[in-house]
Amino acid sequence: MSENSVTLRGGVTMPLLGFGTWQLTGRKAYDATRAALSAGYRHIDTATMYGNEAEIGRAIRDSGIPREDIFVTTKIQADRSGRERETIQASLRALGVDYVDLWLIHWPPRRGLPAMWREVVAARDAGLARTVGVSNFSPSQIDELDEAPVLNQIPWSPFDYDATVKAAMEERGVVLEGYSPFKRSDLRHPVLAGVADAHGVTPAQVILRWHIEHGTVVIPKSVTPERITANLDVYSFALTPAEVTIIDGLGT
Ligand SMILES: NC(=O)c1ccc[n+]([C@@H]2O[C@H](COP(=O)([O-])OP(=O)(O)OC[C@H]3O[C@@H](n4cnc5c(N)ncnc54)[C@H](OP(=O)(O)O)[C@@H]3O)[C@@H](O)[C@H]2O)c1
């Protein structure tokens, strides 16, 4: 594993830092994704529910970057249970791609989880997704699945840090992907401000770097070009183990 990527069970490698696109629609989704790709992001997170797959697909094509160089995640909503194959086919059509890199069940369905998961795995086996995972799942919901997902995308920030959750994912061979790294944080917290000052970076960059130090995937969203660039610039500094431990403490 290089510093900026993680290899999922089964061998698919993904960049640890990706671009989040929730609440970006229409022109904003297109422009922000184009800006992210030109800034250097090679991992985009979307979902059927976000209603922006077509704009993201267009941004990817217009970027001129080869499809295989961009890691694309999309998600199926729980209420599409029973219509898994048509849902991924619609996502692929909207994105204008032959496969996604990662397909996630967005939220656990109230009923029929094992059957839904079997269909998701079957779509992977049919070559429509390179690998498959889940989102917003508890460890016990993961244990209901006959084949463990490669990854679980959950709310995660220094203020959510819980060593038990992290260990539960590790024990199952499930990579933790965190969402809403900023929305769930107090960007003015003195601990983050102190670490940021020590490295001449911003508290937002400290949060993203903290995910990287833990090997956690993180997908910050921004429509602001300067923030899009700054959020990717987290490889020119590193946190010390002591700083990581202090930041972990914000979660307790
Ligand atoms: N699986 C799920 O259920 C789920 C749920 C939520 C999110 N997600 C995914 O995770 C992604 C990220 O989460 P999110 O969109 O909820 O929130 P987020 O990335 O934590 O925060 C986005 C907010 O932070 C601001 N921001 C961005 N960069 C900043 C910086 N450097 N300094 C200060 N503020 C900054 C953005 O403002 P501007 O845009 O105005 O710059 C925006 O208001 C989503 O886009 C989506 O892809 C998944």
Shortest-distance Cα residue to atom 4 of ligand 1: 179
Confidence (pLDDT) at 252: 74
Ligand 1 center–CA 84 separation, angstroms? 27
* Burial class of residue 185 in the structure, from the number of CB atoms within 10 Å of its CB (0-12 exposed, 13-18 middle, 19+ buried): buried
* Minimum-distance ligand 1 atom for the alpha carbon of 32: 39
* Minimum-distance ligand 1 atom for the alpha carbon of 230: 31
Q: How far apart are CA 105 and CA 135, in angstroms?
A: 6
DSSP of 94-162 = HHT-S-EEEEEESS--SS-HHHHHHHHHHHHHTTSEEEEEEES--HHHHHTSSS--SEEEEE-SGGG--
Mean pLDDT by 10 residues, the chain (252 residues): 85 98 98 98 98 98 98 97 97 98 97 96 98 98 96 98 97 98 98 98 98 98 98 97 98 84
Measured from the CB, is residue 135 less than 6 Å from ligand 1?
A: yes
Confidence (pLDDT) at 107: 98
Q: How far apart are CA 55 and CA 24, in angstroms?
A: 10
Distance of CA 68 to the CA centre of its chain: 18
* Closest of 3, 9, 27, 5 to residue 151, by C-alpha: 9
Confidence (pLDDT) at 2: 60
Using the Cα atoms of residue 225, residue 226, residue 231 and residue 233 in order, give the sign of their dihedral.
Answer: positive
For a mutational test of ligand 1's pocket, the pick from 222, 226, 234, i.e. the residue with the most ligand atoms closer than 8 A to its C-beta, is 222
Measured from the CB, is residue 45 less than 6 Å from ligand 1?
A: yes
Q: How far apart are CA 37 and CA 32, in angstroms?
A: 9
Residue 29 DSSP SS3: helix
